[in-house]
Structure formats: C-alpha cells, structure tokens
Chains A and B, each alone.
Chain A
C-alpha cells in the first residue's frame, strides 16, 4: 500500500479540531485559577531582565540540566574496546537510562548490563549482585572483557569493586585470567566526561599492568613507531572516520584508544552481534610503547592524559576538539610534529577548498550573534570556529566546565580565546549554569542562532531562535552523528549546517520583497 487510503489524523493535526479545542477549554477549570491576563503577565515577567537577575542568583535547584552522569560516559568508553561488555554496578534504572540515552542519540542498540542492586544490597553490600551479575552476563553475552563502573548507590554504601572481583574469581565465577576492568564513577561528582575519562584510564591501566610489559615509548619494538589517538567522549561516529582519513593521508601507523564508532555505526546485516569493532585488547599494552599519544579532548581526558605522560612516560599532545580551519591546522601540525611526517598535499588541497567554501558563505555569517552550549572541549572548538567565520559568540554555557588541564581552567582558556578576537568581545562564559539560565540569556539579549544539543530546543523555541544541533545528545534529528564535524571536511559540514539554517530563516521570515532565488 503506497498511499493513504484513509485520512487518519495524528496528533499534529487532530488536536487542532474544534472538538479537541473545546475539550482543552473545558479542562481549564482544573488548572491554577488565574486569568489569561495573569498567565500572560507571568510569562512576560519570566522573560524580563528582573527575572533574569533572580534566575542567576538561584543557588539550590537545577532547572533543565545540560549534563549527564559519570557512568553514562563510562558505558560509552567501555564500548570503545573489542568485545567488551559495559557493566553498571548499582540499581537497574541507571543502566536503563544509559541504554536509552545512547540509543536515542545514535539510533543503535547499546549492549550494557547492570547488577540490579535492591534494598538488600543497600544493607548488606552489592557483592552477591556483582558476583551473580558477572556469572550471568558472561554466560549470556559472552564478552571477552567486562568493564565495570559504579553508580551513586554503590559508592554511597562503599562497595569495594576490587575485592568483589577478586572474590568472584575465588568463587570460580570467572577465571583468574579473565579481564575485568573497573572504575569508580559516582554521579554526584563530575559528569559524563569525567566518567568517560575514568573508564578509559581504568581500561588502559588495567590491561597494561596485567600484561607485564614495561613501557619503552618510541622504542620501535612491536608498535613503537605507532601513534596513539584518543577522541574522548565522542558523539560523532563520523569523527572517527574523518580522523582515520587524516591519519591515512599522513600514512602513519596508529592505534585509536577507545573506538566506539563500530558499535554505533554497524551495518544492518540481518544479524545483531552485540559487539562491533573497538580497540583490540592486545593493542592496549602495546600502546605504551608507541611514539606518542594524541588526545583530541584535553579537558575530558585529563586523568588518562596524566596517566599516559606519567606512568607510560610518553610524549603527549592534548588538544580540544579540532573544529574549524585553525583547529584542524593545529591538529595536522601536531600530527606532523609527533610523527615527523610532512602534512600531505591532499589535505592542504582540501583545506583550500574548505577555505573557499567559508569565503562563499561569509556574508551570511559575519556579525551573526550566537549562543553556545556544550561540553568544554567542544565549546573551545566551536568558539574558535565562530571567531574565524566572523560569527560573534555571545552567551556560552558549559554546565560541566568546572575542569582544568595542566592548571588551566576551561573558563580561562575560553575567555582568553574570545578576548584575542574582535568578534569575541561581547561573550560571557558561564560555567555550572543550566538551560534555564540560557533561556533568560536568550530572551534578554537576543542572538541570531543557538548552537547546542536537542535539549536546548525548548529555550530556543521560547526565544524564537533557530537551533543548530551540535554535540550530545541529539535526540530529535536523524544521522547528524554520521557526519564528521572535525577536520576540514567537518568544518565544511558545520558550515553548511549553520549557513543553510540562516538561509532557511531568511526564506521563512521574508518580508515578501526578498524571497530570492539566488543567495
């Protein structure tokens, strides 16, 4: 059946019908007894400067948060390793949230299990749950490694993962050799990015220590001429592909540490396999011998970076997400420096093409005031991109921006970056604020464009600002994560997204005189 034979209305059109309008009117008797005028006044007040001041002096409640919790990041990190089962130690609901959250973003299944702790575990500790859980999940899902992270509950009651895993081995539930990595990730500390970091560090250090290898960075043995690359909490599978393309163009050998792109971009073959791709477990200890490590989210990967430059004693280059021309330039220069290889001509050529594209679009971007919401490393990249296109960042909110790397705080770096450009003079960076703060900002100091996750859509709608969806999570658009936003190609994608949103606005809000064919 190729077309509607029946006109069955759905909720977008059905509820505009008179009888439903009537039904809604009838319902008002149950609502707070205030007049339409009062409602309008309250709404207007919530958009006022006076309200904004009160909103910003708010201390004790978060309204519309823009961060997720540590174990969510840990689950993503665990999926970056070959045949590794993410295992959440705590009550079951957390795990259900992580699976839904990640699946809604990537439109892919998320294999992850939980110890399903209940109140008896709260009293007696979660050891039995962990041991039973290991036994069941290994039998059911046949992973080659289990990566355990904790939730609030396990942390509050003080469960000792190391000894529990040891006891599981003693009980014979898993063999002595069976790899089980773990990290502690209560959600009342940090956010999804710190949880990602904790799990990556947990897996790297665990696999390295148990291998018995002594790191000799750049020694040439085994994989000494390789480069290690980490992308961090990466919501774009396309970014992995783009990075592979760039490294391939350099013709350098490399290991990506934590590659979940396989799991979140697997083909529909007719058979679901639970595990797709990921960093090979055997490659992890060898990575200690690599030439150097390149990290593309320096704030996110703070502890992992400290571990690599400390314990592995390895050269480390840490950047924020390489967005825009300058961001990508820095990436290529860094790869060139670390490997000693020249920047390939193909990439220089690509750079030229993207610069050309930016020039084509610049009249529509120049002076556009934008609001940005995201994780710290993404924001550093986005600010850089905006500044080089002549867009002016105005409001920047980073809920989980209370992080530093090498004693430079995110906020300070962002402000320095903004201060160095004439397009950054109006910007204010708000750390630890939420999307209700952003709503006040959008309403009181208008911008042309908002850039951020799907969660920003409510505030953007209230302020009638178009939203370009970038970052995590993107629930209400399809396939955004398949297109890279890093590298020159990513810059082009980001540019098309933004400039075409602006052009669409022009068409949607044309005055009748400027509905033009050529832009």
Chain B
C-alpha cells in the first residue's frame, strides 16, 4: 500500500502547504458559546505536568477552572494545582505586576518547578500589565524559565488559544534544550493531551513498532522533553485545528516533516503508524509497522465481531471539536455506525473536506452550536445516539437520547486499536441500557406517548 494515500492528502508533498491566513471564526454574541482563548491556552499547556501554571488575573479564571480536565499524569502533579494572583480592585487600579513577581518567586521558592507558565487574562491584558517583562526579569533572577502566555480570553475562541499556546512554546521552549546523546530520536506527538490516558495507549503502540516518542506536546509531558522537540525526525499533528501552525513553523525552522493523523479507528491508527515510519525513511521500521498493524487489525476484527453485530446500522450524531469531527467518523464507520449528523463549527476547511470524504452526501452538517440545533438533527435524522461533549450531555439526557462523552471530560480512552474496542463497548452499553426503554414508556396510568417516539 502506498503509505501517503494521495486521495486523502493534497497532491503536494505533505506539509508544504502555505499557512492559511484565515483566522479562527469570531464567536457570535448572544449564543451559548464555548471556551475562550485563555481556556484554550490552558488546555494546550496544562498537560506539561511538572510545570507550575500561574493565572495572572482575578480569582475567577483559575477558581472556575482548576483541576477540571481529564488529562492524566504518570508522575508529577504540580500542573494540577490552581495557582492564581487573585487580583482585586486595587490591583486593577494600581497594577498587579508586583503581585505577579512575588507570586512567581513564591512558587519558584516553594515548589521548585522546572518552569513556570504565566497566563494573562482579560483583566491583565486590558490594564496593560507588562507580563513579558515581569516574566523575563523573573526568569533571569530565579534561573528557571518563566514563560508568558499571552492569550487573554477576549482575543477569541478556544482554538485561537491553542495556537497562542503553541506560539509560546515556539518562542520560549522548543529549541532551548538538547537531548542526551544516546537518546533515540523519533516522533513528536503534537496536540495529543492524554485525555483518559489515550497518550499512553498510543505510546505503547509506537513502542511496539520501535518508534520512539521524542516530545509529547503536550499529553503527560515533562518540560524538559519539549525543549528538545526540534531534534525530532517527524512531527505528527494529532489535533490539527489546535497546533497545525506549530508543526508548520517547525518544518520551516528545523526542517522536520509533519503529517496530520489520528488514532481514532483502526484504519486511522494503522495509517498514522505507517506514515511515521515512512517519513522517518526507515525500511526496517516500515516492515515492523506493517507486521504490527496487520496483527493488531486481525486481532481487533476478531474481538469486535460481537459488537459489530449489535452496532450495525445504528445512527449517530457527532458533535465535537477539531480533529475528532472527522477521525471519530472513521472509527464509527468501522463499527458499522452511520454518522447522520456532524458538527463542523470547530473544524478547519481541511477537516470539513475530510468529513466529506468519510460521510458522503447523506449527512447533515451542523455549523453552529446550541443544544436545540443538535437535538433537531438527532430528531430529524432519527439518530440512535449522540456523541458530544459535557456541556451538551445533560440536554441529551433530558431528551432521553443515548449519549457518549467524547471530549475532554471523558473517562474512557478511545485511541488506538484497544480504544476502538472501548468505544464499541461504550456505544453498546449506552444503546442497550434498559433505562431508555423505561424512560420512553409512559407511566401505566398515562396513556399518552411521550412527545419524541424513537
């Protein structure tokens, strides 16, 4: 098989496309919009587990968000701490730079992290704090990197925040360190955040094929490993919307080829592993990957058999962000589940093209958010299950629609071959649970059927 799969990628060599200047779309006032840039920046950087993450702003930004994501750590837990400068009204008037400096010093002195990330917020950006200067001065004084992340909430959407966090990594982290001479260099995983431990499943697969992970950007990462990310031989962009720019920039600066891939579904997983080996230009590795993927796919297809039988012909509405919008479609297709509606509001043009490749014409695109819009699609398309994130979960419950959480709060890892099995199991359980029948049948004394008869 040709590992490049020209039908899915542009005919140009992978990664030579010029960066698109198109900004992330503006949120629309008056809607129940998703997270902000600050949120997005945190999502990207919080999985650097041994670093301290300090929020420079009023208590809310940290107070409302600390320790609420399912990004798992295999060791250090400093990243889970909610550090905040807790600005009050007098700081807003007189400035909070002194407080920021003291906070950085305190964290450095008491927690001795390898690095401190400092996040700006709406307030500190508006009152004109010179965060970069404070961070630089502090870094020089205390001798550890203090990295300003300039991504206040108001600059835009969560995706933009991911990008700005990527910029901070490029500007302050990547290229500042060198790996040990005997380190086996391999692939950077970009935009994989180890939600529910998915990163570890991926890493296990890569290890089995003899492909080394150079830097995790940033699932279960350590600060130090990101400093030498520029030495990797290949970049794989796992979540394209978020950090594609980082990969592009690394290609132009360091000549590292990149590709976009996914680990949702067996085909995508196989493709990603093959692509890694191909771009590393290592024949032996390619053969190992072929053996591994053949074996895993065969085993998987055996183990999936009972689930496939139960899932065949089921209809799903998928509402998620970024890369999952298309990659999960592949996983579902392999299970025999038909995607009849798909959210595209957080997808790039490339993502949408990939969605189109996978779903055909019979699927409704849901371009904007809002529970009612998603529910409408579920009803009109007579879907059996809704696959979305936490903020839409309870609406699905109200509507008695079987639901699977696919976003950052989920507790199940769906990546890789084993992940597909877990997804199959979760889908089956969610669809088969007796509660739906109970919910859909009226009380014995109430003859009228509920409004939505599935």
Q: Which of B31-39, B261-269, B339-347, B358-366 contacts A (4 or more CB under 8 A)?
A: B31-39
Flag if B153 contacts A91 (CB, 8 Å).
Answer: yes
Pick from B67, B392, B425: contact of A458, CB below 8 A: B67
Flag if B127 contacts A156 (CB, 8 Å).
Answer: yes
Give chain B nearest CB distance to A45 CB in angstroms.
10
Flag if A92 contacts B36 (CB, 8 Å).
Answer: yes
In A256-288, the 8 Å CB interface with B consists of: 266, 268-274
Flag if B87 contacts A188 (CB, 8 Å).
Answer: yes
Q: Which of A1-9, A215-223, A340-348, A412-420 contacts B (4 or more CB under 8 A)?
A: A1-9
Q: Which of A128-136, A239-247, A369-377 contacts B (4 or more CB under 8 A)?
A: A128-136
- A149-166 CB mask vs B (1 if < 8 Å, else 0) is 001110011000000000
Give chain B nearest CB distance to A90 CB in angstroms.
7
Flag if A23 contacts B418 (CB, 8 Å).
Answer: no
A449, CB-defined interface residue at 8 Å:
no
B107, CB-defined interface residue at 8 Å:
yes
How big is chain B's contact interface, by range? Answer: 35 or more
Flag if A61 contacts B106 (CB, 8 Å).
Answer: yes
Q: Which of B6-14, B230-238, B241-249, B393-401 contacts A (4 or more CB under 8 A)?
A: B393-401
B197, CB-defined interface residue at 8 Å:
yes
Cβ contacts under 8 Å, B19 to chain A: none
Flag if B222 contacts A27 (CB, 8 Å).
Answer: yes
Flag if A114 contacts B29 (CB, 8 Å).
Answer: yes
State A54–B111 Cα separation when bound (angstroms).
Answer: 12
Pick from B31, B38, B67, B113: contact of A116, CB below 8 A: B31
Flag if A100 contacts B439 (CB, 8 Å).
Answer: no
B82, CB-defined interface residue at 8 Å:
yes
Give chain B nearest CB distance to A13 CB in angstroms.
11
State A71–B222 Cα separation when bound (angstroms).
Answer: 35
A365, CB-defined interface residue at 8 Å:
no
Give chain B nearest CB distance to A157 CB in angstroms.
6
Flag if A96 contacts B452 (CB, 8 Å).
Answer: no
Residue on A with the closest CB to B123?
Answer: A152
Cβ contacts under 8 Å, A55 to chain B: 110
Cβ contacts under 8 Å, B397 to chain A: 107, 268
Flag if A69 contacts B59 (CB, 8 Å).
Answer: yes
Pick from A2, A59, A96, A274: contact of B36, CB below 8 A: A96
Q: Which of B132-140, B154-162, B163-171 contacts A (4 or more CB under 8 A)?
A: B154-162
Cβ contacts under 8 Å, B34 to chain A: 92, 96
Residue on B with the closest CB to A29?
Answer: B180
Cβ contacts under 8 Å, A96 to chain B: 33-36, 39, 391
How big is chain A's contact interface, by range? Answer: 35 or more
Q: A15-B74, A272-B371 are in contact. Are A62 and B85 (CB under 8 A)?
A: yes
Pick from A5, A28, A122, A271: contact of B399, CB below 8 A: A271
State A114–B85 Cα separation when bound (angstroms).
Answer: 25
Q: A156-B122, A188-B88 are in contact. Are A458 and B80 (CB under 8 A)?
A: yes
A328, CB-defined interface residue at 8 Å:
no
Pick from B65, B155, B223: contact of A119, CB below 8 A: B155
State A268–B39 Cα separation when bound (angstroms).
Answer: 31
Pick from B82, B102, B439: contact of A270, CB below 8 A: B439
In A429-484, the 8 Å CB interface with B consists of: 436, 455, 458, 475
State A115–B26 Cα separation when bound (angstroms).
Answer: 11
A310, CB-defined interface residue at 8 Å:
no
State A65–B87 Cα separation when bound (angstroms).
Answer: 13
Cβ contacts under 8 Å, B59 to chain A: 62, 65, 67, 69, 187-188, 191
Cβ contacts under 8 Å, A111 to chain B: 32
Flag if A31 contacts B75 (CB, 8 Å).
Answer: yes
B22, CB-defined interface residue at 8 Å:
no
Flag if A136 contacts B31 (CB, 8 Å).
Answer: yes
Flag if B86 contacts A65 (CB, 8 Å).
Answer: yes
B310, CB-defined interface residue at 8 Å:
yes
B258, CB-defined interface residue at 8 Å:
no
Give chain B nearest CB distance to A475 CB in angstroms.
7
Cβ contacts under 8 Å, A351 to chain B: none
Flag if A104 contacts B398 (CB, 8 Å).
Answer: no
In B379-400, the 8 Å CB interface with A consists of: 390-395, 397-400
Pick from B32, B91, B153, B306: contact of A112, CB below 8 A: B32
Cβ contacts under 8 Å, B444 to chain A: none
Pick from A62, A93, A266: contact of B39, CB below 8 A: A93
Flag if B83 contacts A63 (CB, 8 Å).
Answer: yes
Flag if B88 contacts A189 (CB, 8 Å).
Answer: yes
State A192–B432 Cα separation when bound (angstroms).
Answer: 40
Flag if A42 contacts B425 (CB, 8 Å).
Answer: no
Pick from A23, A32, A132, A191: contact of B200, CB below 8 A: A23
Q: A14-B197, A151-B122 are in contact. Are A109 and B371 (CB under 8 A)?
A: yes
B255, CB-defined interface residue at 8 Å:
no
Flag if B395 contacts A272 (CB, 8 Å).
Answer: yes
Give chain A nearest CB distance to B188 CB in angstroms.
13
Give chain A nearest CB distance to B29 CB in angstroms.
3
A19, CB-defined interface residue at 8 Å:
yes
Cβ contacts under 8 Å, A71 to chain B: 60
State A4–B307 Cα separation when bound (angstroms).
Answer: 11
- B25-49 CB mask vs A (1 if < 8 Å, else 0) is 0111111111111110000000000
Q: A1-B310, A92-B27, A99-B32 are in contact. Are A152 and B58 (CB under 8 A)?
A: yes
A20, CB-defined interface residue at 8 Å:
yes
- B71-113 CB mask vs A (1 if < 8 Å, else 0) is 0101110001111111111011000001100110011001011
Give chain A nearest CB distance to B216 CB in angstroms.
9
B450, CB-defined interface residue at 8 Å:
yes
State A97–B60 Cα separation when bound (angstroms).
Answer: 9
Pick from B81, B399, B412, B429: contact of A1, CB below 8 A: B429
Give chain A nearest CB distance to B386 CB in angstroms.
12
In A52-86, the 8 Å CB interface with B consists of: 54-55, 58-72
In B402-421, the 8 Å CB interface with A consists of: 411-413, 418, 421
Cβ contacts under 8 Å, A107 to chain B: 394, 397
A140, CB-defined interface residue at 8 Å:
yes
- B282-312 CB mask vs A (1 if < 8 Å, else 0) is 0000000000000000000001001100100
Q: A27-B75, A93-B39 are in contact. Are A189 and B89 (CB under 8 A)?
A: yes
- A23-35 CB mask vs B (1 if < 8 Å, else 0) is 1100111111000
Pick from A19, A61, A108, A135: contact of B102, CB below 8 A: A61
In B197-239, the 8 Å CB interface with A consists of: 197, 200, 203-204, 207, 220-225
Give chain A nearest CB distance to B307 CB in angstroms.
8
Residue on A with the closest CB to B198?
Answer: A11
Flag if A269 contacts B222 (CB, 8 Å).
Answer: no
Pick from B29, B36, B127: contact of A130, CB below 8 A: B29
Cβ contacts under 8 Å, A1 to chain B: 306-307, 310, 428-429, 432
B314, CB-defined interface residue at 8 Å:
no
Residue on B with the closest CB to A154?
Answer: B122
Cβ contacts under 8 Å, A24 to chain B: 74-75
Cβ contacts under 8 Å, B370 to chain A: 140
Flag if A11 contacts B196 (CB, 8 Å).
Answer: yes
State A163–B33 Cα separation when bound (angstroms).
Answer: 25
B192, CB-defined interface residue at 8 Å:
no
State A91–B161 Cα separation when bound (angstroms).
Answer: 13
Cβ contacts under 8 Å, B88 to chain A: 188-189
Flag if A270 contacts B452 (CB, 8 Å).
Answer: yes
Residue on B with the closest CB to A267?
Answer: B398
Pairs A-B, 8 closest by C-beta atoms? A93-B36, A69-B60, A136-B30, A133-B29, A30-B222, A133-B30, A187-B60, A61-B103
Could you write out 24 A-B pairs with CB less than 8 Å apart?
A: A23-B74, A24-B75, A60-B85, A60-B106, A61-B83, A61-B85, A62-B62, A62-B85, A72-B60, A90-B154, A92-B33, A103-B394, A107-B397, A109-B394, A115-B30, A116-B33, A119-B154, A121-B154, A132-B28, A136-B28, A140-B370, A186-B89, A270-B440, A458-B80
User: Told that A20-B74, A62-B62, A95-B32 touch, could you supply 9 new A-B pairs with CB distance under 8 A?
Assistant: A1-B307, A4-B425, A8-B422, A20-B204, A23-B204, A91-B152, A92-B27, A93-B153, A133-B29
